[in-house]
Structures are given as C-alpha cells and as structure tokens.
C-alpha cells in the first residue's frame, strides 16, 4: 500500500473499525513490542505531550497516528498513572476535529489550573495549496478526562515562518508564559519564542529567548523548561545545528542547557551552560519534563527520531516512550534516574556472577552491575550463540570509556553511526543499571550521570547475556513484569 498524502490525512472517521483492530493486534503481537514502556496501541507514536500532575494523578499523552507507521494526521492519546510506571490508557483525547487543527493536533503541554487541566498545543492547518498555518490552541480537560472548549490563542507573528509550534505552558510570579519552537523569516534560524498572558486568553509576544550566543540551526522543536534542584534547565531539539557548536551523532539531537536564573520578561536564561546531549544513545527526542508541586522534576522522552525508519514499520507500528526519569542536580551535573516505583516490576531476583550472566532471558529485564576498576571488555546482550547478533556495551574502567554498539543489532539508521560513546572517570568502578524491554535498551550509567538509550532488532530468540571474558564485577538480575 502506498502512503499518499491523501491517505495520511484521511479523517479518522473514514477508516473502518476492523482495520484499526487489525492494526492493534499487529502491534500487540509483535515480538519487538515493549511490555513495560508506553508503546503504540497501533500505528506510530512520537512526542510525549502534556506530561503533568492533575487531580492527584500523573498524566501523559503521546502524539499518535493510529493507522500506520507514518507521520499522518496526528492526535493526542491519554494515559494516567499513580506511580509513573503503571499506566491506564484513556484513549484519544485531543482530536484533529476543528478547522484550525485539521491537519494534526501537534505537540503541546499541560498544567493544572483551578481544578482543571489546561492544555496548550499547536493546531496544524493546511489550505488547498498545502500552505501551512500553525495555530496555538488551548483546551480544558476535566477530572473525567473530557477535553473541551478549544480556543485559538495566537498565530505566528510576521517575523516567524510557519515553523512555529510545541508550546509549553509555565507560570511565574502570577503570570503565565508559553515557550515555543520557532524559525525566523529573515534568516531562517531556530529560536525559542516567549509569550505572556495574565488570563490564559490574551497573549503577547515577548521575544526570542536568549540562552546561547550560537546559531541554533534552522529550527528548534519541543522546547521545555524545568527547574532541577533550583537550576532552570532548558531541554530542546535543535535541527540543523552545526556540529562545531555541540557534538552529536543522531539526525537531530535532543539537547539541554542549564542556567542560574530564568527571566521571561527579559527573555533571558542567565549563565547558560554549554549545550549537552540529554541522552548519549541513539534514539531519544522531544523530551518533556515538569515540576511536581514539591519541586520534584520528572522527564519522559520519545524513543524514536523524526525522518527515521525502523524495522517494525513493516508491521505497521513504530516507536515508544522512555521510562520516566527523575531529574536531579549533583556536583554541577544533571542526573537522570529511574523512578522508585520501577522496582515494583522486579521479579525473581538473582545475584549474577561468572562470564555468562544468562543463557536465556524473556527479553524483559533489569540488570544492575558494578564493574571493578582497571578492566576492559564487552558485555553482549540479546546475543545468539556465535555472537553474530547482539547489542554490546564495550567498557574500559581503566581509561574510562563506555561504548554502546548496535552494529550487530539489526539495521537501524546506519547512516548516523552504529556506536555511541561516552568518556568516564578513569580507574573507577562502573555502575550500570540496564533496562531491556524487547527492542529497547536504556542504560543508566554511574547513577544517572549519563543515560544511553537505543532501539535494537536482533532476532527475538537471541537472548544470551555474556561477557567476552572473565570480568570482576558484582550484579543482580530481575525479570520485569509487563505493564502494557
Ligand atoms: C517533533 C514534532 C513536533 C510536532 C510533532 C508533530 O517530533 O515534529 O515539532 O509538534 O512532532 O507530530
């Protein structure tokens, strides 16, 4: 079947229920499907949206195109949770059902305001000539999950192109602010645009946020500001960023800067750090983070990238979300850690030792190991007998280096490299908390100083975990219970 433009933007009502059930079954039954990560019910998912705390529960939505593994007509699908690990699917929440979001309810954010959840997102509209107008739209969700009262708030001002999207709602000193990704008309560079409102209805533009002296490529997507232990932290996705400004290998990076103070009125992040990759692996994009009422910062990412195909496309589904990561700041470093409740999924705890950690796994586990200093070797996961298939962690605890290598893990995005590498302290113990969920791996390094995330597609029966030689380490292994 060919994915014509017409087909991708066909209204949801024109698809029949049976087709959707088939697609849902295909996604659910895949050997590569995630079982304890938020995954597509059918079709393609991308950015997390509206990650928030409301009515004493956590909420997250994701961008969804339910009818295939392509970026078609997008909507928001809603999940809620009591612990950030077990999620209940509440179904389609923001539909592309008005003129101003006719070609997609694109990304946005949410915040509890006066007993309701305020949503703000980009309505993607195209006219007969395929000219795009992005509308920034608000809506309100009540405690029963009903979304209503859609209202257009503002459009792109004259100096900004049609690339103007992904508003994040923020509140400071009794005013509301929204930050959005934008491209200026004059130079076609990427920016973060700041808007202000006192009543959530009348909005004025304050200008581009000053957070770096460098040029941010041709567009910034999904800007997100969160306070991490008192450090304003700006997470964003620059597209077309020059690699001399910040090194990255993914097609588009998901980066962050931290500062000492955020001043929306002056459009200024004070003392910005240099740009750093939020994740040191292959597939993290569009991370959203928010602060709980007590200040705790949680983040969740899309595991997937724009303009990238994956092997499950031929099964008509694609991508997933990361596990939720708790953010903190220690010794000048941003740390990302699994939330405590992930431990409730652990089953059959085992101490592991020896060169072979497991001859066979279910593909759904956590492996937490401490590798002693002054050793170099390779840990193969998802491996077969002759190791011709595997995803590998190559470590050197003398020089201080860790490489995630997926060159033997099925074909994904080879043109952007098959290894990712981080530098570590030399002569030190290496702490790895590894989460595997069928075709996704998340490696938390040294208690969250780095996270390396990636999809991999070895044959589903490749389930060995083995070192290349005897290694001095201690570790534990758990099977992980399914949540999806
Ligand atoms: C990022 C993005 C956003 C947009 C959304 C559409 O992945 O391109 O900028 O709002 O996806 O699905």
Q: Which pLDDT score, from 0 to 100, does residue 60 have?
A: 98
Helix (H) or strand (E) holding 442: strand 440-445
Q: Is the CB of 258 under 6 A from ligand 1?
A: no
Query: H/E element holding 281?
Result: none
User: What letter would DSSP give residue 30?
Assistant: -
Query: What pTM does this model have?
Result: 0.98
Q: How far apart are CA 378 and CA 160, in angstroms?
A: 49
Q: Is the dihedral of CA 295, 296, 302, 306 positive or negative?
A: positive
pLDDT in tens, the chain (484 residues): 799 999 999 999 999 999 999 999 999 999 999 999 999 999 999 999 999 999 999 999 999 999 999 999 999 999 999 999 999 999 999 999 999 999 999 999 999 999 999 999 999 999 999 999 999 999 999 999 999 999 999 999 999 999 999 999 999 999 999 999 999 999 999 999 999 999 999 999 999 999 999 999 999 999 999 999 999 999 999 999 999 999 999 999 999 999 999 999 999 999 999 999 999 999 999 999 999 999 999 999 999 999 999 999 999 999 999 999 999 999 989 999 999 999 999 999 999 999 999 999 999 999 999 999 999 999 999 999 999 999 999 999 999 999 999 999 998 877 899 999 999 999 999 999 999 999 999 999 999 999 999 999 999 999 999 999 999 999 999 999 999 9
* Residue 104 · residue 124 · CB < 8 Å: yes
Q: ∠ CA 92-61-128 to the nearest 5 degrees?
A: 60
- DSSP for residue 7: H
CA distances, 327 to each of 102, 227, 311, 360 (Å):
36, 9, 31, 33
- Write phi, then psi, for 19 (nearest 5 degrees): -60, -45
Left (φ > 0), alpha (ψ -120 to 50) or beta: where does 250 sit? beta
Mutate to test the pocket of ligand 1, among 96, 192, 221, 319 (most ligand atoms within 8 A of CB): 221
CA of 204 to the centre of ligand 1 (A): 24
Distance 59 CA to ligand 1 centre (A): 19
Q: Which sequence positions are flagged as catalytic?
A: 47
Report the DSSP beta bridge partners of residue 75.
64
Quick one: which atom of ligand 1 is closest to the CA of 71? 12
> Best mutation site among 46, 239, 252, 284 for ligand 1, i.e. most ligand atoms within 8 A of its Cβ?
46
Question: What order do you get walking across the sheet with 376-383 strand by strand?
Answer: 356-358, 464-467, 376-383, 391-396, 401-405, 419-423
Contacts of 457 (CB under 8 A, 6+ apart): 32, 310, 311, 312, 409, 410, 411, 412, 439
φ, ψ of residue 470 in degrees (nearest 5): -60, 130
43-54/317-318 β-pairing: parallel
Residue 197 · residue 174 · CB < 8 Å: no
């Amino acid at each position: 079947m060919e994915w014509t433009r017409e087909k991708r933007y066909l209204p949801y009502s024109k698809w029949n229920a049976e087709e959707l059930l088939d697609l849902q079954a295909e996604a659910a039954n895949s050997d590569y499907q995630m079982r304890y990560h938020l995954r597509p019910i059918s079709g393609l998912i991308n950015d997390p949206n509206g990650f928030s705390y409301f009515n004493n529960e956590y909420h997250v939505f994701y961008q969804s195109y339910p009818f295939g593994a392509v970026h078609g007509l997008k909507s928001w699908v809603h999940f809620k949770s009591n612990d950030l690990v077990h999620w209940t699917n509440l179904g389609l929440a923001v539909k592309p059902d008005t003129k101003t979001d006719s070609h997609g309810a694109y990304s946005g954010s949410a915040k509890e305001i006066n007993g309701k959840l305020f949503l703000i997102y980009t309505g993607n509209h195209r006219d007969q000539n395929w000219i795009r107008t992005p509308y920034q739209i608000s809506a309100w969700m009540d405690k029963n999950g009903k979304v209503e009262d859609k209202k257009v708030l503002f459009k792109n001002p004259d100096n900004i192109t049609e690339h103007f999207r992904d508003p994040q709602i923020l509140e400071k000193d009794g005013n509301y602010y929204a930050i959005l990704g934008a491209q200026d008309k004059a130079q076609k560079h990427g920016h973060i645009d700041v808007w202000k409102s006192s009543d959530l209805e009348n909005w004025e533009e304050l200008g581009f946020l000053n957070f770096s002296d460098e040029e941010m490529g041709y567009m910034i997507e999904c800007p997100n500001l969160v306070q991490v232990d008192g450090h304003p932290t700006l997470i964003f996705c620059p597209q077309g960023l020059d690699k001399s400004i910040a090194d990255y290998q993914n097609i588009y990076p998901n980066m962050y800067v931290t500062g000492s103070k955020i001043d929306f009125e002056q459009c200024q992040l004070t003392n910005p750090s240099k740009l750093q990759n939020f994740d040191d692996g292959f597939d993290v994009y569009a991370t959203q983070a928010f602060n709980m009422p007590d200040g705790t910062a949680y983040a969740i990412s899309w595991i997937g990238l724009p303009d990238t195909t994956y092997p499950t496309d031929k099964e008509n589904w694609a991508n997933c979300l990361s596990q939720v990561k708790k953010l903190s700041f220690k010794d000048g470093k941003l740390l990302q850690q699994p939330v405590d409740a992930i431990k409730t999924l652990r089953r059959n705890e085992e101490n592991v030792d020896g060169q072979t950690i497991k001859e066979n796994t279910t593909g759904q586990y956590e492996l937490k190991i401490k590798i002693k200093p002054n050793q170099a070797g390779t840990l193969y996961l998802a491996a077969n007998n002759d190791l011709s298939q595997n995803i590998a962690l190559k470590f050197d605890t003398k020089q201080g280096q860790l490489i995630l290598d997926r060159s033997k893990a099925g074909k994904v995005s080879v043109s952007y490299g098959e290894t990712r590498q981080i530098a570590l302290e030399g002569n030190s113990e290496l702490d790895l908390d590894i989460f595997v969920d069928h075709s996704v791996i998340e490696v938390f390094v040294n208690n969250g100083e780095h996270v390396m995330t990636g999809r991999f597609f070895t044959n589903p029966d490749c389930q060995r975990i083995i070192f290349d030689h005897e290694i001095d380490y201690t570790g534990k292994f758990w099977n992980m219970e399914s949540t999806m």
